[in-house]
Amino acid sequence: TSIVSGVLTAFIHCFPFDINSRLQAFIDVCGFRFSVKLSGRMVRLMPLCNKISVASIASKMNIDTVYLLIKKPFFIKGYFLMHLNKAIASEKKGLFLLLKLLILLCLVKTFFLIYNNLGGNGWSIHEYKDALPIISWSLYYDACMISLVSLPFFIALLISNNRSILKLAAIISAGLTTLMLLLNIADVFYFPFHRQRADADLLYVLRNPFNYGSSAAWLIIAAILFATIVCVKLLWANYNHIISSKKQSRFIATNCILLLVCCTLFVGSSKKIIPTAALTSVDAVQIPLTQNSLHTFIYSLYRSKESIIADNNYMPIEKQQALFSINKQNSIATGNAKNIVMFIMESVPYDFFDTTSNYKPALPFLDSLLNHAVFYKNAFSYSYNSNKGITAMLTGLPTITDIPLYHSGFATINKTNIGEVLRAKNYASSFFIGDNYDDFGFAKCCKWTGIDNYYCMEDIPGFKKMEKHSMGLHDEYVLNFMQQKLAQQRQPFFATQYNISTHYPNELPKAYQEKFKHIKIPAALKTMMYYDDCLARFFKQASSTAWYNNTVFIFCSDHWASPVSQKIKNNMVNSFRIPIIIFDPSQNKKQVIDNTVSQLDIMNTLLSYTGMQASFISYGYALTDSLLNNRTVYTKINNSIYQGINNNYVVGFNSDEGKAIYAYEYKKDPDFKNNLLEQQNLTIDSLTKNIQAFLQTATRHYKNKQ
């Protein structure tokens, strides 16, 4: 038996008084030097030699009662620690690089947390115990993504000595790492509008080239690019340093660690590959703090495939259809076909119309209009995204894909093509917007829904000389052009204006910058005041036209947005509240509706004003019909979490896990402190069933089974 560089433990079975003499004899006979530690009758000997023959030592000492045994735990521990130290010494360059990346992501995450602090509640972090699971999940996902992007380089170090191959692998890892950093840094500034981490939708909404971008927008872009360039340079310097010293190590231990960390995403029953897996430990509002943007982006690209939409079989088909049906027929239809003009208001929250809100701007025209119109004060958008908002309004369909429905593989879904339906009713249809052609894919959306004419900035005569902002032309020019087109339009007609001046970064024309410079309110409120003035001029001119009195005007926001820059309300209900207004000059009556209504109701309402009585496909109800007193409306927080909201309660449902995750009586509990999910409550049970029926209907519909 031999011992190679380990820990030798000798148990000498002899009389206690003789142990020292026998130990000295043991050392003398062996002829080797030992580091000796006595503890009672146990002698720990640290050999300073490479090999010791136990048999030869025993024979030389002529000791019958000596047992030299390897104490395995001590041996393994010593052997492991010695080689671990050696491995760390040889691989410290690689390990330090990974540690630097983790620290860098932690700094970006900290900046993300501070910049997007959710109002006064601080992401619902009230004590240090609330932060611990967030930190652990955040470190875990960051470590996973660092491992993923670093593997190409370290695997190349393991299998090859060729410098060209190593540099190619370094370029791949550097590119992936740069993408990871770029997405995480960009999310710091994009999150206030998207309300979730980067996903496939980013490929479409960031298509806007910012041809007329503000200094603030360009400053953010410049900061992101500068940070990215600095990171790339530092990364490349580290990779080159490791390559130059490659002969010292093949980074076997580093590769094992990276592979092990990546594998944890796929093993076990916790489904960590799902970016919302942390919901088992943190609140829904805290999920973005735990996520890494590269992870959510890659997962979203994967989810965009048809195969990933599973059949959510929560209940028998008969029960699902009894709870929720997409086959609709308006019970009330106007006798005469009316012209319909719809104003889709970009990023306009309910706060702008709430007289109790601190963010209520002075809106002389719209405030006066409410005295002659129907105002739905408990209306909800479907999501936080413009592309999902326009889909909900023009088709009555919820988007359950991560990317816009009209860009997805489900674009052929069975739906009501509003343009075709209107054409059959002898309507002409048109869409007006002041941005570049097909920004955000809206030209595709209009074609997809069958709308006859799409007008953008390039269609407006003299647009090159007109004053612009980051997103395109200011609203006054688009509304003037729309007025001219409607004057030439045969009746009946349907026209939609999608305003963009109220979109971030909320830039005003120079004349209005001067007009509002002494008003100390946020920029979003000022641009809403500007839009109100544009509408006042539009209606003043329209009121003298022949088509005006036979027209119904519908106002609806595409989604909620924070009225104050960088201060987002931590409220899963109010952050979906939007204004919906219907003004019919021939009726001229004031009415305020408290019942819950939805963006998904808009298409049904449009069709009711055409006099259409045939059945059609929609997830909403006509606002002209008698509304249910405690109706459930549905909202989408992110790629996994949906909500059911009625007049008093909100229930959150995780579609990945197939279960409810929270329930609040939001009017009595506005701070959302008392989760009622564990309590027996028939209303909450009913809301949960309604959400399940809604999602089961949608998934079956998307897969052409409905």
Instruction: Using pLDDT thresholds of 50, 70 and 90, give the confidence band for residue 82.
Output: low
Which residues, at least 6 apart from 503, have a Cβ–Cβ distance to it below 8 Å? 346, 347, 470, 471
Give the C-alpha separation, 354 to 349, whole Å.
9
Q: Please check the confidence at residue 1 and state whether its pLDDT lies above 60.
A: no
pLDDT of residue 269: 54
Closest CA to 490 of 416, 540, 571, 423: 423
pLDDT of residue 516: 94
Instruction: Give percent of the chain above pLDDT 90.
Output: 54
Q: Can the peptide bond before residue 361 be classed as cis, meaning omega within 30 degrees of 0?
A: no
pLDDT of residue 199: 81
Q: Give the 3-state secondary structure of 454-523.
A: EECHHHCCCHHHCCEECCEECHHHHHHHHHHHHHHCCCCEEEEEECCCCCCCCCCCHHHHHHCCCCCCCH
pLDDT of residue 360: 95
Q: Can the peptide bond before residue 509 be classed as cis, meaning omega within 30 degrees of 0?
A: no
Q: Which helix (H) or strand (E) holds 87?
A: helix 72-115
666 in helix, strand or coil?
Answer: coil
- Cβ distance 599 to 393 under 8 Å? yes
pLDDT of residue 25: 46
Q: Please check the confidence at residue 633 and state whether its pLDDT lies above 50.
A: yes
What's the DSSP call for residue 370?
G
Give the residue-averaged pLDDT of 329-340.
79
pLDDT in tens, 358-386: 999 999 999 999 999 999 999 999 999 99
Convert 50-70 to b/e letters by CB count within 10 Å (16 or more is b): eebebeebbeebebeebebeb
Q: Please check the confidence at residue 405 and state whether its pLDDT lies above 90.
A: no
Q: Please check the confidence at residue 34 and state whether its pLDDT lies above 90.
A: no
Range from 140-154, 236-250, 429-443 carrying the lowest mean pLDDT: 236-250
653 in helix, strand or coil?
Answer: strand
pLDDT of residue 282: 82
Q: Please check the confidence at residue 401 and state whether its pLDDT lies above 70.
A: yes
Instruction: Give percent of the chain above pLDDT 70.
Output: 80
pTM listed for this prediction: 0.73
Give the C-alpha separation, 578 to 296, whole Å.
28
Instruction: Using pLDDT thresholds of 50, 70 and 90, give the confidence band for residue 77.
Output: low
374 in helix, strand or coil?
Answer: strand
Closest CA to 144 of 283, 291, 343: 291
pLDDT of residue 570: 58
Closest CA to 528 of 384, 357, 355, 360: 360
pLDDT in tens, 206-232: 555 455 555 566 777 787 788 778 878
Q: Please check the confidence at residue 399 and state whether its pLDDT lies above 70.
A: yes
Starting at the edge strand found earlier in the chain, the sheet holding 649-654 runs 633-636, 641-645, 649-654, 659-665
Q: Which two tokens stand for residue 64?
A: 């019958």
Closest CA to 217 of 558, 565, 463: 565
pLDDT of residue 81: 60
Range from 262-266, 409-413, 640-644 carrying the lowest mean pLDDT: 409-413
pLDDT of residue 355: 93
Give the residue-averaged pLDDT of 251-267.
90
Instruction: Using pLDDT thresholds of 50, 70 and 90, give the confidence band for residue 471.
Output: confident
Range from 282-286, 470-474, 555-559 carrying the lowest mean pLDDT: 282-286
Q: Please check the confidence at residue 246 and state whether its pLDDT lies above 70.
A: no
Strand partners, 214: none
Q: Higher-confidence residue: 156 or 246?
A: 156
Radius of gyration of the chain (CA): 34
Give the C-alpha separation, 243 to 171, whole Å.
12
Q: Can the peptide bond before residue 505 be classed as cis, meaning omega within 30 degrees of 0?
A: yes
Q: Give the 3-state secondary structure of 248-277.
A: HCCCHHHHHHHHHHHHCCCCCCCCCCCCCH
Give the C-alpha separation, 691 to 701, whole Å.
15
Q: Higher-confidence residue: 68 or 20?
A: 20
What's the chain's average pLDDT? 83
- Cβ distance 212 to 118 under 8 Å? no
Give the C-alpha separation, 360 to 460, whole Å.
33
Q: Cα-flanking dihedrals φ and ψ of residue 347, to 5°?
A: 55, 35
Angle subtended by helix axes 252-263 and 72-115, to nearest 10: 60
pLDDT of residue 588: 86
Q: Please check the confidence at residue 87 and state whether its pLDDT lies above 50.
A: yes
Give the C-alpha separation, 386 to 383, whole Å.
8
Q: Which helix (H) or strand (E) holds 47?
A: strand 42-47
Q: Cα-flanking dihedrals φ and ψ of residue 6, to 5°?
A: -135, -155
Q: Please check the confidence at residue 9 and state whether its pLDDT lies above 60.
A: no
Give the residue-averaged pLDDT of 120-142.
85
Return the number of other C-beta atoms located less than 10 Å from residue 316's C-beta. Answer: 10
- For residue 518, with 0-12 CB atoms within 10 Å meaning exposed, 13-18 middle and 19 or more buried, which class applies? exposed
Give the C-alpha separation, 502 to 76, whole Å.
68
Give the residue-averaged pLDDT of 271-299.
84
Return contacts of 483-486, CB within 8 angstroms, 24+ apart: 483/538, 483/541, 483/542, 485/430, 485/432, 485/455, 486/341, 486/542, 486/545, 486/547
Size of the chain in residues = 706
Q: Cα-flanking dihedrals φ and ψ of residue 35, to 5°?
A: -95, 120
Dmax (CA) for the chain in angstroms is 123
Return contacts of 664-668, CB within 8 angstroms, 24+ apart: 664/572, 666/572, 666/573
Q: Please check the confidence at residue 14 and state whether its pLDDT lies above 90.
A: no
Give the C-alpha separation, 686 to 666, whole Å.
16
Q: Please check the confidence at residue 525 and state whether its pLDDT lies above 90.
A: yes
Return the number of other C-beta atoms located less than 10 Å from residue 347's C-beta. Answer: 25
pLDDT in tens, 144-175: 999 999 999 999 998 988 888 998 999 999 99
Strand partners, 472: 469
Q: Cα-flanking dihedrals φ and ψ of residue 621, to 5°?
A: -135, 155
pLDDT of residue 527: 96
Give the residue-averaged pLDDT of 102-124.
83
Instruction: Using pLDDT thresholds of 50, 70 and 90, give the confidence band for residue 37.
Output: very low
Instruction: Using pLDDT thresholds of 50, 70 and 90, give the confidence band for residue 680.
Output: confident
Instruction: Using pLDDT thresholds of 50, 70 and 90, give the confidence band for residue 307.
Output: very low
Give the C-alpha separation, 637 to 196, whole Å.
8
pLDDT of residue 562: 87
Q: Give the 3-state secondary structure of 136-195.
A: HHHHHHHHHHHHHHHHHHHHHHHHCCCHHHHHHHHHHHHHHHHHHHHHHHHHHHHHHHHC
Give the C-alpha separation, 179 to 477, whole Å.
39
Instruction: Using pLDDT thresholds of 50, 70 and 90, give the confidence band for residue 603.
Output: very high
pLDDT in tens, 182-200: 899 888 888 877 777 888 7
Q: Please check the confidence at residue 76 and state whether its pLDDT lies above 70.
A: no
pLDDT of residue 29: 42
Give the C-alpha separation, 639 to 389, whole Å.
15
Q: Which two tokens stand for residue 661?
A: 């995750």
325 in helix, strand or coil?
Answer: coil
Cα atoms in the Cβ-side hemisphere of radius 13 Å centred on 142: 24
605 in helix, strand or coil?
Answer: helix
Give the residue-averaged pLDDT of 477-499.
97
Q: Which two tokens stand for residue 388?
A: 């999902």
Closest CA to 456 of 194, 214, 202, 208: 208
Give the C-alpha separation, 385 to 643, whole Å.
16
| Amino acid letter, residue 663 | A
pLDDT in tens, 544-593: 999 999 999 999 999 999 888 655 555 889 999 999 999 999 988 899 99
What's the DSSP call for residue 580?
E
Q: Measuring CA to CA, how many Å separate 169 from each of 163, 228, 448?
A: 10, 19, 43
Instruction: Using pLDDT thresholds of 50, 70 and 90, give the confidence band for residue 276.
Output: confident
pLDDT of residue 622: 93
Give the C-alpha separation, 345 to 557, whole Å.
4
Closest CA to 340 of 604, 656, 59, 577: 604
Give the residue-averaged pLDDT of 402-417.
85
Which residues, at least 6 apart from 397, have a Cβ–Cβ distance to it below 8 Å? 391, 405, 413, 415, 600, 617, 618, 619
Which residues, at least 6 apart from 267, have a Cβ–Cβ distance to it below 8 Å? none
Closest CA to 446 of 384, 381, 495: 495
Q: Measuring CA to CA, how many Å separate 584 from each of 340, 344, 539?
A: 10, 17, 13
Q: Which two tokens stand for residue 504?
A: 């971030």
Q: Please check the confidence at residue 118 and state whether its pLDDT lies above 70.
A: no
